[in-house]
Chains A and B, each alone.
Chain A
Amino acid sequence: MKLILLFLLAMILFGCVQNKDLYHYGDVSYRYYKAIKLADEKSVSDYKASLESVFEKSAQKGLKVPPGLYIDYAMLLIKEHRYEEARAYLAKEAEIWPESIVTVHLLEQRYGLNR
């Protein structure tokens, strides 16, 4: 009887537990939407700051930076013509997310970031 009870409680907990700690996204998706929608200096700057905040908080929490965000940051750096830094962030993405390697190579080629 106790075993059944424990099993059912475990089922509930299993159903309720969400994978909240997989990554920290903060408000980066909303800031990205605002940057796309308004496309002004402030909204783009807020978006960039939200990415930097994700990098910082992920490190503090010992989490991986969510997939794609280093590429997103590199894209902003490319627009600012900061190509060396952009290349470094693309390399970070490729290092922690092997699935990104094809896209990273494509972007390096496209923006002339190949050494």
Chain B
Amino acid sequence: MNRVIGLILVIVTLTVMYGCSTAKLATLQELYPEMYSRKPASILILPPINKTTAADAKEYFSCSLNEALGLKGYYPIPVEAVYGILREEGLYDTETINRTVLNNMQTHFGADMVLYTSIEKWDKSWFLTSGNLSIEVHYALVSTATADTLWNFKTTSNTRLGSSSDNLFVSMIESAIKTAVEDYFPNARDTNLVTFEKALPVGKYHTLYGLDGENTTYASKKGVINIDK
């Protein structure tokens, strides 16, 4: 009996170890102490900065961040209400946001933090029977009171856009079409969801609030996600 339990124990231990990565890990509390001490709750999502040539990338992210932050237990201030006002005030270009403007985000919207999202890379490639989409995004949560960065993370997501067909010709055509006309909204959404799931401490409305400080993520604050579609 003890041998059986011992064997199960080894399997379970290996599963836990496999779940983690060989990359150096650190606890969320160690990496982001001020997320725990300041207890921010509300987040204003600034218009994403798009450094790529993908015209739709900005909208893919701005429309999917609200849900990803909400599911982590934060109060994201709705982008539809905010962006109209930012446009009228000449603040829609996130690059122009300075400390005074940050303070105003707290005064006028009640935001504890703003979320900066910078889309650094959006590369689509296709070769014979498979395609690939590689996205690199940098995220940062900045305090509206002090302009300090409370949380940041860099994510690279790789999505394989292959074909399920066994026929080589069909497979080539399918993957070429898939790469060219794919609706990439789910890719942006998944990138946000997985990044926040892996690296963002939970907010006050999450059931694990105050209990996740010992959870670990990459000490480098960088992660890679591989998605098969």
CA distance A100 to B42 in the complex (A): 8
A-contact 0/1 string along B1-27, CB 8 Å cutoff: 010011011001101100100000000
Min C-beta distance of B181 to chain A, whole Å: 14
B-contact 0/1 string along A30-71, CB 8 Å cutoff: 101100110000000000000000000000000000111101
CB of A112 within 8 Å of the partner chain: no
CB of B108 within 8 Å of the partner chain: yes
Q: Do A99 and B75 have beta carbons less than 8 Å apart?
A: yes
How many residues on A have C-beta within 8 angstroms of the other chain's C-beta atoms?
37
Q: Do B9 and A25 have beta carbons less than 8 Å apart?
A: no
* Dominant secondary structure of chain A at its interface with chain B: helix
Q: Which of these, B13, B56, B78, B185, contacts A68 with CB under 8 Å?
A: B78
Where the two chains meet, the residues of A that have a C-beta atom closer than 8 Å to any C-beta of B are 1-2, 4-5, 8-9, 11-12, 15, 18-19, 22-23, 25, 28-30, 32-33, 36-37, 66-69, 71-72, 75, 97, 99-103, 106-107, 110
* Dominant secondary structure of chain B at its interface with chain A: helix
Q: Do B71 and A67 have beta carbons less than 8 Å apart?
A: no
Q: Do B67 and A36 have beta carbons less than 8 Å apart?
A: no
Min C-beta distance of B201 to chain A, whole Å: 13
Range class of the B interface residue count: 35 or more
CB of B207 within 8 Å of the partner chain: yes
A15-B19 contact, Cβ under 8 Å, with A28-B67, A75-B80: yes
Q: Do A68 and B12 have beta carbons less than 8 Å apart?
A: no
Chain B residues with CB under 8 A of A29: 63-64, 66-67, 189
Sample of 19 more A-B contacts, CB < 8 Å, known A72-B80, A102-B109: A5-B5, A11-B16, A12-B19, A15-B16, A19-B208, A22-B73, A25-B70, A29-B66, A30-B63, A30-B189, A33-B59, A33-B185, A37-B59, A68-B78, A69-B78, A101-B110, A102-B108, A103-B110, A110-B85
